[in-house]
Chain A
Amino acid sequence: MAVASNKPAAQPAVVRSISAEHGAEVPDFSREQELRALRQMLLIRRFEEKAGQLYGMGLIGGFCHLYIGQEAVVVGMQMAIKEGDEVITGYRDHGHMLACGMDPKGVMAELTGRRGGYSKGKGGSMHMFSVEKGFFGGHGIVGAQVPLGTGLAFANRYRGNDNVSLTYFGDGAANQGQVYESFNMAKLWKLPVIYVIENNQYGMGTSVARASATTNLASRGRSHDIPGEQVDGMDVRAVKAAADEAVKWCRDGNGPMILEMLTYRYRGHSMSDPAKYRSKEEVDKVRTEHDPIEQVRSRLLKKGFANEDALKKIDAEVRAIVNEAAEFATNDAEPDPAELFTDVYK
């Protein structure tokens, strides 16, 4: 378990820092794993594209943060955990919910503020939960989920089970004070929590290098003796491999671990962000050279695990699921006005 070295900052790092370091060591996926990853990532991407479309039509309101480009992170992590493990994240959360197995209809209906949404239409994009699927939100305040996820891990330790809490946050949240308060307690009490830092290179419009005195976020646990590792977050196999290692570390009672996922969001911070702070070339380069879905697709073809027709069929199936979700979310009724006053207290 290597503690990340504190190397000088990788520039808008995704392009350079990713595959160079880890590419060679990444273990291969089986056919079944590749297909599962493809299906999951496609579902997220198509879902998010649809959400963007519905937002443009005025059917989704408020803030809407899309996960497009980062799919390999949550899908790879999810492939390494078991039932009973908890997942918690910030506001860019649609991908996490779908990866946890939540019903796309319920997620989309929450985005449109309908009664069939996971929070009965009262939470919206940033605040959805499914205890049944182990998903604890969906939190709108940058960094707030970090102590909460540490608390989920605390509960695991209190109960003496071997469950692990996956606590996701972004490169922006990595500068919040409560993150370090959490690191301290997690290490002090050896809590089974994996801090998954989704470094998509920009906290809203500010690049990591402009916001962080040290840009190797995997090393941010060093002062608390928490091991960390930088991972190519665009390669689902690399994510899964790192996650396997981290999950074992936690289940074995060693306390927390940090995984910094080097990833990239193709869209703006939210639907209303024109993303003028980065060049089109930068985005295009990642899309053409590192797209997490294309990587899987080309491996499937190259290894003869699937042909074009089979992949088209998967694509069509995923589109059908997403269309069904959108259909449901646009036709479902708004919440009953009486719901205004329910659920304030239990």
Chain B
Amino acid sequence: MPIQVLMPALSPTMEKGNLAKWHKKEGDAVKSGDVIAEIETDKATMEVEAVDEGTLGKILVPEGTNDVAVNTPIAMILAEGEDAAALKDGKAARKITDPAVRERVEESEPRVEETKAVVAPPAVPSPPEPTEALEPDVPEGTAMVTMTVREALRDAMAEEMRRDKDVFVMGEEVAEYQGAYKVTQGLLQEFGAMRVIDTPITEHGFTGLGIGAAFAGLKPIVEFMTFNFAMQAMDQLINSAAKTHYMSGGQIGASVVFRGPNGPAARVAAQHSQDFTAWYSHIPGLKVIAPYTAADAKGLLKSAIRDPNPVIFLENEILYGQSFPVPKLDDHLVPIGKARLARSGNDVTIVSWSMGMTYALKAADELAKDNISAEVIDLRTLKPMDTATIVASVKKTGRVVTVEEGWRQSGVGAEIAASVTEQAFDWLDAPITRVTGKDVPMPYAANLEKLALPSVAEVIAAAKAVCYR
């Protein structure tokens, strides 16, 4: 029976890709290891190798097709002895779910370890279409352009680098590779190797080096490939970056942005899938930002680069590819420390940020169907925290649910709960309720991973509970 070739997932978070090119035509013989096609993701162009042997019987998705969902059948391979008539059955007995895929690079030798295709659907829900957001940061009538969070971050860096020659980017694979997550795409070409600097894999060292450069008055953007690796640099972040301004009586500051993806990714297990928001928000001297929308990603990153203090800028891998409207302005700045009212409501206040917003907004949609009107606050900045906006909302709704992917104990939700209790106790009609990641290291298995993360259902249940519904 013919073998179906499926659109492979080329990264843990890939949901669709473009079929750039077929290297084989119908009727060509295919051996195991032959490159049969090229797939473009938003991160890279990858080659798909055949795993099975036979003849390429039929191409189901022609080259040049964009946005082909993962697991869509893209071709049929006929095993030896089968003829084209077998295709007419329409059913394939075997699906190739693990095609060997390797990244195509310009250089002769591969620069990253082989990418293993994972065809399991991402455990984390994809974000809903953004609701009509109130955008107090933008003048009325501003034109909007749609762009991904990834593009917005890149544009923010490029704009600030054009504006100030003291701004530079350093990190692993930020230059020639164009960014491990392609966030720094094109920066090397525009700004050159003096300002877009590939570092060795040496987080402790290059973090300290960046801080030292900031002591000398430069404005580094230090990219961590992910914040998991920033653990190696924790001493420099906390003891050198955060404290020196205070310890020097205000003489020396570190105007430096540490940015990169934070939070649970998909199917990478405990060491590569965790949320450090609460950790950093504990430290005096640091500012901590975790945007959800592309507009906020851009406006807050620009503000962070200009800020004279060390800023921890927590991005989210799963949000990188999501598109949002972004104001078409020459200089779109979003103030640090100001929450955004993402959705107005009267019955319950849901507070979240970054990826947590995807659960919060979906839950709000569902709750509306049950006539529960949820107000959703996107904190955007965790430190300093805009408690005033939360408290004002609580005075309206009397109920609070916090949503975060981080662990429960000593999490950001605990901090919000304490602040609301201190500042708006008399307005509360129900206990403040936290929806969080479970207090376990992130498991690998798809089902367990799903259980470890917060879910839309948990947010809905929490909101209903505090509304006594």
**Chain A positions near chain B (C-beta within 8 angstroms):** 86, 88, 117-123, 127-131, 136-141, 144, 146-156, 158, 177-178, 181-182, 184-185, 188, 342-346
Contact = CB atoms under 8 A, between A and B. Distances in A.
Interface residues of B, number: 40
A140 B239 contact: yes
Contacts of A139: 240
B215 A151 contact: yes
Given A181-B206, A182-B208, A346 B247 contact: no
Contacts of B246: 122, 343-344
Question: Is the contact region of chain A dominated by helix, strand, or loop, or is it mixed?
Answer: mixed
Contacts of B81: none
Contacts of B248: 118-119, 123, 127-129, 137, 343
A260 B132 CA distance: 64
B46 to A, nearest CB: 30
A122 B249 contact: yes
Nearest to A188: B200
Nearest to B243: A127
Interface string B178-222: 000000000000000010000110101111111111111110000
A150 B212 contact: yes
B239 A151 contact: no
A214 to B, nearest CB: 21
B285 interface: yes
Nearest to A177: B204
A141 B248 CA distance: 15
B212 A154 contact: yes
B265 to A, nearest CB: 26
Contacts of A119: 247-249, 251
B205 A185 contact: yes
Given A123-B249, A182-B208, A343-B248, 19 more contacts: A118-B249, A121-B249, A127-B244, A144-B240, A147-B206, A147-B209, A147-B236, A148-B215, A150-B205, A150-B209, A153-B212, A154-B209, A155-B213, A155-B217, A156-B216, A177-B204, A344-B245, A345-B309, A346-B250
Contacts of A136: 212, 215-216, 252
B128 interface: no
A117 B251 CA distance: 12
Nearest to B287: A345
B239 A141 contact: yes
A146 B309 CA distance: 21
Contacts of A127: 244, 247-248
A178 B239 contact: no
Contacts of A152: 212-213, 215-216
B240 A148 contact: yes
Contacts of A148: 208-209, 211-212, 215, 236, 240
15 contacts: A128-B248, A130-B251, A136-B215, A138-B247, A139-B240, A141-B235, A147-B205, A147-B209, A155-B213, A155-B217, A156-B216, A178-B208, A184-B202, A344-B245, A346-B245
Contacts of B199: 185
Given A182-B205, A188-B200, A343-B246, A158 B251 contact: no
Given A149-B212, A151-B212, A346-B309, A122 B247 contact: yes
